[in-house]
């Protein structure tokens, strides 16, 4: 593996993991909102 490929992989993984934390936070927030709404609806109904 040459240097340019290694740098490209390092850049890709750094960007990928930083985006992954954002996606994980958004998914967790969305799941909590969905669970809360479902709980409220089941309680009312």
Of the pLDDT bands very low, low, confident and very high (cuts 50, 70, 90), residue 36 is very high
32-to-4, 14, 15, 16, 36 alpha-carbon distances in Å? 42, 27, 26, 24, 6
Whole-model pTM: value is: 0.49
Residue-level pLDDT at 7: 84
The domain ranges of the chain are 1-45
Mean pLDDT to the nearest integer, 2-17: 75
Mean pLDDT to the nearest integer, 6-25: 75
Q: Which of 24, 5, 1, 25 is nearest to 13 (CA)?
A: 5
């Amino acid at each position: 593996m040459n240097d340019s490929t290694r740098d490209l992989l390092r850049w890709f993984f750094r960007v990928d993991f930083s985006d992954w934390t954002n996606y994980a936070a958004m998914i967790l927030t969305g799941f909590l909102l969905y669970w809360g709404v479902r709980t409220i609806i089941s309680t009312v109904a």
